Amino acid sequence: MKETKNGTLRKVIKYIGRYKFLLPFTALFAVISVMLTLYLPLLIGDMIDLIVDFGNVDFDGIKRLTLIGIVIIVLTALCQWLMSTINNRITYGVAREVRRDAIERIEKLPLSYLDTKKQGDIVNRVINDTEQFSEGLLLGFSQLLVGILTILGTLVLLLSINWKIAIVVVVLTPLSLFIAKFIASKTYNMFKLQSKTKGEQTAVIDEMIGNQKIVVAFSHTEEATEKFDEVNNRLADCSLKAIFFSSLTNPATRFVNSMVYAAVALTGAIIAITTGNTAEAFTIGQLSCLLAYANQYTKPFNEISGVVTEFQNALASASRVFELIEEEVESSDENASETLGTARGNVCLENVDFSYTKDKELLKNINLDITPGQRVAIVGPTGCGKTTLINLLMRFYDVDSGKIAVDGKDIRNIKRRDLRKNYGMVLQDTWLKTGTVAENIAIGKKDATMEEIVAAAKAAHAHGFIKRLSNGYDTVINEGGGNLSVGQRQLLSIARVMLLLPPMLILDEATSSIDTRTELKIQEAFSKMMQGRTSFIVAHRLSTIREADVILVMKDGNIIEKGTHTELLSQNGFYSKLYNSQFAHIEKGA
């Protein structure tokens, strides 16, 4: 665990190094503010010595020292403000870059990672953990450097006034650091568990809010609340433990500070008694300086102790963010040897095997040869591998063995971006970004004109409902399209493909949420669009794929039947059973 903390700290320093041009300035202002702060007690001590003799008070000297003191206070405040401004820029600049790197890494992560991780936990790492890390970093910048400089400066001044008292202070004060180190070593794992549990809680909340309709519809609110309460109670428990142990630092170090202050006063009294004359030992002003410096010397130890403890929380949060940033990315295709350009649409699968987990086979020895322009329907029971086959065609996953080729080129030798530009995809689960209707339709074609967008919407039979929206094509869609119906969201997804008109199409239950009347119109539009384009159609409603050139029937990861609708019905096999289970009762009724 120590190596983990050290590794995390090195990564933090590396990010801070990007702002090395600002670090000298924050150091300069820290030195100036500390020097001015340490000079002030000397000034006050001189003022005290000027008023000790009540019969001969030097009012002019007091006035001069007071003015100097005011100037010092103003300059100190200015330096501290400038230092804080620079520290804020460094800290939140680092936080910005960490978040940016985290988002960039998420964009490069394979779907296998995102499919197996809770979205709420990933969001928590990018937002909350980075925020916690930046707060700890800011605290370190603000107090650590100033504290160290104050300790060194105060030590020099203590030695210059009275070396005996300086030794007493130096011997006793480090006790607070030993206490802080002991507590910090115990709290790191507690804070890491706290951050992990926060991520789990965020995931639960995200799941509950995102599926609230289902939760309410199935009267699952009580169970959902119980699950949240369980995670919430665990978070409260680990947070209380972490905060309790970390909060011991302040009273423990303050106790040491009080011991030091008392020791200074006692040592001063002993020195005064043994010399027989207090004035020969030191003046009253010097005594006030000693007490002030003793307090100033111990105060940074208290602050640094707090910083060390808080930094454990920051490092624990940072380690979770860096774990995300350092996750293994999708295999690089920068050195892809093949160029695809605009595909003709010949797709060939040779002896393809694939499974999500090594202990459970899914697709086994799949062989296909799709000619350009063919309409290929893929049917079968849930879990048979239909969507998995689509994932492989798009190279969301790579095959375990065998190969998939487009126009005779192995897709593993083609850049994913070039491959995916040749596909238009409409899924059952639609995704819309926060933005206008027009922006959502033009996601795949940023330079699309408004005329092209409207034409695509009309082809998708979405123009009518869009015009009825408050601002038409300029209507802003909420996150995920919450202000639209499921069917309307699907029509916009279809319009995206209508705008692109790529050489190959993938329609995965593309009309599942659309009413029957609109579906018939969409099917007509699809028929026109699919002419001359290789198309893969995943469907449960077999009525939508009767006109397909070839139908692939899948079961348990295998293609068990292949042919046209008429051919498959005549075989009286698995497809015939599927079809008859959906339509036999209708035909009998007819």
- Burial class of residue 373 in the structure, from the number of CB atoms within 10 Å of its CB (0-12 exposed, 13-18 middle, 19+ buried): middle
Give the integer Cα–Cα distance in Å for 202 and 120: 5
Q: Are 480 and 448 in contact (CB under 8 A)?
A: no
User: What domains, with CATH codes, occur in the chain?
Assistant: 2-325 (1.20.1560.10), 345-419+538-590 (3.40.50.300)
For the chain (590 residues), the mean pLDDT of every run of 10, in chain order, is 64 82 85 85 75 66 82 89 86 86 84 76 82 76 77 79 74 70 71 78 74 64 80 83 73 72 70 55 67 72 68 78 83 74 87 83 86 88 82 87 89 85 80 84 86 89 88 82 76 84 82 71 75 83 78 86 87 84 53
| H-run or E-run covering 286 | helix 284-325
Q: Are 325 and 133 in contact (CB under 8 A)?
A: no
Give the integer Cα–Cα distance in Å for 496 and 457: 8
**Residue 365 pLDDT:** 86
| H-run or E-run covering 369 | strand 363-370
Contacts of 270 (CB under 8 A, 6+ apart): none
**Residue 454 pLDDT:** 92
Give the integer Cα–Cα distance in Å for 510 and 522: 10
**Residue 250 pLDDT:** 67
What tokens does 332 get?
Answer: 């690089």
Q: Are 125 and 102 in contact (CB under 8 A)?
A: yes
Q: Give how far Cα 42 sits from Cα of 69, 234, 260, 418, Å.
A: 10, 52, 20, 73
b/e sequence 198-218, b meaning 16+ C-beta within 10 Å: bbbbbbbbbbbeeeeeebeee
- Alpha carbon 151 to chain centroid distance? 38
| DSSP classification of residue 556 | T
Q: Are 392 and 404 in contact (CB under 8 A)?
A: yes
**Residue 214 pLDDT:** 65
**Residue 280 pLDDT:** 46
Q: Are 453 and 441 in contact (CB under 8 A)?
A: yes
Closest C-alpha to 389, from 414, 370, 413: 370
- Alpha carbon 488 to chain centroid distance? 31
Q: Are 552 and 542 in contact (CB under 8 A)?
A: no
**Residue 316 pLDDT:** 78
Q: What is the 3-state secondary structure (H, E, C) of 382-402?
A: CCCCHHHHHHHHCCCCCCCEE
Phi, psi of 260 (to 5 degrees): -65, -45
Strands 534-538 and 558-563: unpaired
Q: Name 375's bridge partners.
A: 535
Closest C-alpha to 365, from 536, 559, 550: 559
| DSSP classification of residue 473 | G
Closest C-alpha to 385, from 557, 562, 575, 196: 557
Q: Are 303 and 143 in contact (CB under 8 A)?
A: yes
Radius of gyration, CA atoms only, the chain: 36
Tokens 């799709």 belong to residue: 370
Phi, psi of 94 (to 5 degrees): -60, -45
Q: Name 410's bridge partners.
A: 405
Contacts of 286 (CB under 8 A, 6+ apart): 45, 49, 161, 162
b/e sequence 48-67, b meaning 16+ C-beta within 10 Å: bbbeeeeeeeeeeeeeebee
pTM score: 0.64
